[in-house]
């Protein structure tokens, strides 16, 4: 297990454009409290957990996660303050957890070829999911469906919104509501 304490007690007055690559490893990275303006995380044949345990100190324009044959868990995306998150995965198991201190609306573009994707979303957030699927299962609870578009029941009244574009081939997608 490789634990990387990214916050090293340094104050950086400007934003950080952070890019990280993990190969064949088991790693845990906590990016909480940094001043990330953008983020790129690439994983190979790995088991990786990325955490935002504290709120990002500034607005983040984009976070990109790319995984080969991997198990990837990202926790606290609400704390990341990223306007746009993208995930691209080959084969594996992925959890994208949007817990945290939301301050604005966000977008997610997720593509997974083979495997399972779990989206953990606070129940107070309004969600719209547009899907492109091939031999993939997707049966979200708490949504109304119109063609390939799913809208959470609270979407019209929610203070914060998450707009998701989802492309999957073989596997399943699950939405878990966080209270």
pLDDT in tens, 127-151: 999 998 776 677 788 899 998 999 9
What's the predicted TM-score (pTM) here?
0.91
Q: Which of 9-13, 72-76, 167-171, 174-178 has the lowest mean pLDDT?
A: 9-13
User: Does residue 157 have a pLDDT over 90?
Assistant: yes
pLDDT in tens, 70-122: 999 999 999 999 999 999 998 999 999 999 999 999 999 999 988 889 999 99
The pLDDT of residue 1: 42
Q: CA 50 to CA 32: how far, in whole Å?
A: 10
Q: CA 102 to CA 11: how far, in whole Å?
A: 23
- Which band of pLDDT confidence, cut at 50, 70 and 90, is reported for residue 10? low
What is the rounded average pLDDT of the residues 44-70? Answer: 95
Q: Give which of 55, 56, 52 is closest to 15, Cα–Cα.
A: 56
CB 52 within 8 A of CB 77: yes
Q: Give which of 155, 162, 150, 14 is closest to 84, Cα–Cα.
A: 162
Q: CA 122 to CA 52: how far, in whole Å?
A: 15
CB 117 within 8 A of CB 128: no
- Give the DSSP H/E element, type plus range, for residue 77: helix 77-80
Over its C-alpha atoms, the chain yields an Rg (Å, rounded) of 16
């Amino acid at each position: 297990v490789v634990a990387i304490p990214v916050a090293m007690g340094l104050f950086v007055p400007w934003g950080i454009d952070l890019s990280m690559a993990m190969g064949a490893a088991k790693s845990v990275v906590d990016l909480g409290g940094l001043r990330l303006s953008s983020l790129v995380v690439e994983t190979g044949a790995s088991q990786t957990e990325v955490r935002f345990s504290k709120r990002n100190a500034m607005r983040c324009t984009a976070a990109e996660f790319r995984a080969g044959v991997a198990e990837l868990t990202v926790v606290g995306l609400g704390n990341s303050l990223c306007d746009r998150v993208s995930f691209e995965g080959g084969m594996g198991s992925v959890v994208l957890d949007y817990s945290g201190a939301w301050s604005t609306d966000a977008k997610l573009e997720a593509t997974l070829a083979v495997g399972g994707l779990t989206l953990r979303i606070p129940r107070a957030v309004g969600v719209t999911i547009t899907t492109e699927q091939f031999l993939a299962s997707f049966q979200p609870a708490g949504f109304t469906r119109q063609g390939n578009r799913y809208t959470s029941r609270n979407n019209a009244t929610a203070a914060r919104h998450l707009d998701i574009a989802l492309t999957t081939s073989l596997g399943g997608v699950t939405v878990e509501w966080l209270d």
